[in-house]
Structures are given as structure tokens and as C-alpha cells.
């Protein structure tokens, strides 16, 4: 029954537009807006009243609340045994060790409150088929570097003994390095500026197929984007069949008129099971957006054009895409990205940008 409510509402609005004059419709909308403002001002005046409003009168954040709780459940369940592939806990803690290693001055003993947990997570991950060689080497090398410099306390000593019993791969060192040793590039500011100008939101594509290897390369480059504690709480769901790409694009809304010509569509999906605390619920959107921008720039260098598509938090559309992509409750769609070879005759909006003076705020 609830599924039919939006359609009944649309039918009622359509009927009122036929019966009432534009003047009467405008007057009614004005009264409704005035009433809404009174309600919003009252419930927005105090935090507890705001919670009451969204608890009693609006379900807009209901899915987000459930997703956050389901993410907490999956996080704690998966890390009780430390055997979850691509463990967010291990990635976060190893990154914390990296930050401890680069501190100036470095403390003689640090990470005592989480080092045993980290080594147990590493031990559990070593038995996982999803623990890839590079990630395993990174975790091993950082732990090894840590134990080479840290002064023992009882928990550090216990963790050291456990680590020494774990078999690990002997590959290149994946440990913190000096700023002077980082990868150098000869890309100038002007070249970077031109790349940014070249990447425009493209809505008209050629019917040409997009090569799988180019998609994989772009995702590889996107994985280099910064991420809070290196958790990388996102995945790229790729629809390379045009029929699926068009179907998913139409779910977003705002794609009318051009959805049918999208050859490939990527859904950037955040994973809330990477976090045990509500305070981190927005990180999937930050990290996912950083990776998405890098993904689009990577496609541009591969000769492909892109268009980011806003994903609205609308219950009916959420259900559609969850069913289509077979998502878990704690996975949230961040945005969609259309990908393809741009049609040379297709038009692109100019979209004037704000000036530095309007964006910059001195503090």
C-alpha cells in the first residue's frame, strides 16, 4: 500500500491543476510555504525539537539511520574474529602506525592501546584469500618498521612476540618515506589547468564500446585518492551493458533526454561497515567523492568523457537501485558517473564558475 502513495499524490496534484486557476494555485502554495516555515522555525529552534520532528513527522533520514546501525553491526561482527577480507580495522590501524612513525619527534613508545588488536587483525587477514600481496606487504612492512624502533611496554612486547610468529611476504618495503623521495612529475600548473578545463560534464556519447582495460585502469588510478585512515570505504559498480547503464541512469532523475545514449555507467557506493561510530557516517561521501573526481580525471586522460550524476535520497529510487545492484543495507549510493567516448557534435554547457574572491574567505 505505501508504494502507491506517491502516485496518488501525483494524481491529486494533476487534478487540482486542472480545476484551479494559476492564481489560486500560487495562493495555496504561498499559504503552505508560510505554514511550513512556522513549523520549521519551531522545531529547528532546539536540537531536541529537531530530533522530535524527524522522529514523528518525517522519515527522510530513516534509511540513513538504519544504514549507520547496520554498518556498526557488520563492523563489529566482522572484526570479532579479524578474518574479514580487506579489513577496514587493519587498514586504519596500520595507517595510524604510519602517522606515529613520521612524528617529529617520535615517541619512544606509542600505539600501545591498539597494537595487539592490529597484530591480531593482521594475523587473521593473512589467512584471507582477499588479502592481496601489496596490501599484505604494506601491513607487514609498517608493523616491522614499528617494532624496529618502538620501546617495549607489556602490550607492545606481547604484540611483538605474536608478530614474530606470523609468516609474511618479502617484497619491497611499504613503509613511510621522506617527502624528498616521493614520486616526481613534470606536469605544470598550466597543463593541470587545461586538464580541468578539458574535463567537462558530457551528456552526448558515441555508440562505441568502452574497453574494459580502460575502465580498470581508471579505477586503479582512482584508488590512489586520499582516504581517511586509508580505509577506502567505497566500491565502483560498473554497468558496461548499455541496457543496464540506461536503466540505472533513469533511476536518478534529472537524466531525461540523454540517459538512453549512455554506454557505461558507474555507481560509486559507500560502505558504512568500515566505521564503528556515528561520527564517521559522512566519510563515505567525502572519500567516495575524492575517488570519483580522480576517476573522472583518469578517464579524461584515457580519451573518455564523463558526467557525474547526482543521486537523490528518495526512498522509491533507493529501493530500485538496491535491488538492481544487490546492495546491503549499510551500503549507500554516493553518485553515478556516465562514461563514454564523447560525441564531437554534442553540446556542453558552459557552466561559469565562481571567482576566487567569491570562494576565498580569510580567517
User: pLDDT tens, 143-175?
Assistant: 999 999 999 999 999 999 989 887 544 445 677
- Residue 83: pLDDT above 60? no
Q: What local confidence, expressed as pLDDT, does residue 81 receive?
A: 56
In this predicted model, which residue has the larger pLDDT, 22 or 241?
241
All residues at 6 or more sequence positions from 341 whose CB lies less than 8 Å from its CB, including other chains: 205, 206, 208, 210, 263, 303, 304, 305
- The stretch 75-90 carries a mean pLDDT of 66
- The structural domains of the chain, with segments of one domain joined by +, span 12-58, 64-164, 196-340
Q: What local confidence, expressed as pLDDT, does residue 308 receive?
A: 97
- Residue 204: pLDDT above 90? yes
- The stretch 127-149 carries a mean pLDDT of 84
Q: Using DSSP, state whether 331 is helix, strand or coil.
A: strand
Question: What percentage of residues in the chain have a pLDDT greater than 90?
Answer: 60
- Residue 1: pLDDT above 50? no
Question: 12-26, 75-89, 233-247: which range is least confident on average?
Answer: 75-89
Q: What local confidence, expressed as pLDDT, does residue 59 receive?
A: 85
User: pLDDT tens, 60-69?
Assistant: 888 889 998 9
Rg of the chain in Å (alpha carbons): 25
- Residue 215: pLDDT above 90? yes
284 and 242 Cβ atoms separated by less than 8 Å: no
- Extract the C-alpha cell encoding 243: 541496457
The C-alpha atoms of residue 330 and residue 69 are separated, in whole angstroms, by 8
- pTM score of the predicted model: 0.74
Q: What local confidence, expressed as pLDDT, does residue 9 receive?
A: 67
The C-alpha atoms of residue 72 and residue 67 are separated, in whole angstroms, by 9
Average pLDDT, whole number, for the chain? Answer: 89
- Extract the C-alpha cell encoding 18: 486542472
Question: 66-80, 175-189, 230-244, 286-300: which range is least confident on average?
Answer: 66-80
- Residue 263: pLDDT above 50? yes
The C-alpha atoms of residue 9 and residue 6 are separated, in whole angstroms, by 5
In this predicted model, which residue has the larger pLDDT, 124 or 332?
332
Q: What local confidence, expressed as pLDDT, does residue 77 receive?
A: 77
In this predicted model, which residue has the larger pLDDT, 230 or 23?
230
Superfamily covering domain 196-340? NADH Oxidase (3.40.109.10)
Q: Mean pLDDT: which of 45-54, 67-76, 264-273 is highest?
A: 264-273
Helices (H), 57-113: 62-80, 88-101
Q: What's the pLDDT band for 84 if we cut at 50, 70, 90? A: very low
In this predicted model, which residue has the larger pLDDT, 333 or 17?
333
Q: What local confidence, expressed as pLDDT, does residue 75 receive?
A: 80
- Residue 232: pLDDT above 60? yes
Amino acid at each position: 500500500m505505501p508504494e502507491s502513495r506517491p502516485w496518488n499524490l501525483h494524481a491529486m496534484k494533476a487534478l487540482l491543476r486542472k480545476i484551479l486557476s494559476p492564481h489560486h494555485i500560487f495562493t495555496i502554495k504561498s499559504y503552505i510555504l508560510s505554514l511550513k516555515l512556522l513549523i520549521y522555525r519551531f522545531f529547528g529552534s532546539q536540537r531536541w525539537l529537531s530530533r522530535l520532528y524527524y522522529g514523528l513527522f518525517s522519515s527522510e533520514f530513516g534509511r540513513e539511520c538504519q544504514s549507520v546501525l547496520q554498518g556498526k553491526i557488520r563492523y563489529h561482527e566482522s572484526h570479532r574474529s579479524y578474518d574479514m577480507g580487506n579489513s577496514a580495522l587493519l587498514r586504519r590501524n596500520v595507517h595510524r602506525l604510519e602517522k606515529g612513525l613520521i612524528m617529529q619527534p617520535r615517541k619512544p613508545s606509542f600505539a600501545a592501546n591498539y597494537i595487539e588488536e592490529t597484530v591480531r587483525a593482521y594475523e587473521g587477514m593473512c589467512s584471507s584469500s582477499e588479502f592481496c600481496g601489496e596490501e599484505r606487504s604494506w601491513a607487514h612492512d609498517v608493523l616491522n618498521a614499528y617494532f624496529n624502533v618502538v620501546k617495549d611496554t607489556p602490550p607492545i612486547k606481547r604484540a611483538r612476540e605474536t608478530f614474530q610468529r606470523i609468516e609474511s611476504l618479502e617484497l619491497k618495503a611499504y613503509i613511510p618515506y621522506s617527502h624528498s623521495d616521493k614520486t616526481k612529475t613534470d606536469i605544470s600548473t598550466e597543463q593541470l589547468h587545461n586538464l580541468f578545463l578539458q574535463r567537462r560534464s558530457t551528456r552526448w556519447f558515441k555508440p562505441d564500446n568502452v574497453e574494459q582495460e580502460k575502465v580498470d585502469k581508471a579505477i586503479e588510478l582512482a584508488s590512489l585518492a586520499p582516504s581517511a585512515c586509508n580505509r577506502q570505504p567505497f566500491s565502483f559498480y560498473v554497468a558496461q551493458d548499455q541496457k543496464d547503464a540506461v536503466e540505472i541512469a533513469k533511476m536518478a532523475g534529472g537524466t531525461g533526454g540523454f540517459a538512453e545514449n549512455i554506454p557505461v555507467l558507474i555507481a560509486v557506493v559507500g560502505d558504512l561497515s568500515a566505521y564503528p561510530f556515528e561520527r564517521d557516517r559522512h566519510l563515505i561521501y567525502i572519500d567516495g567523492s575524492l575517488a570519483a573526481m580522480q576517476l573522472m580525471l583518469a578517464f579524461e586522460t584515457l580519451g573518455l568523457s564523463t558526467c557525474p550524476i547526482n543521486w537523490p535520497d528518495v526512498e522509491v529510487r533507493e529501493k530500485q537501485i538496491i535491488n538492481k545492484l544487490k546492495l546491503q543495507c549499510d551500503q549507500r549510493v554516493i553518485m553515478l558517473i556516465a562514461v563514454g567516448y564523447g560525441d564531437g557534435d554534442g553540446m556542453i554547457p558552459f557552466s561559469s564558475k565562481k571567482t576566487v574572491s567569491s570562494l576565498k574567505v580569510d580567517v
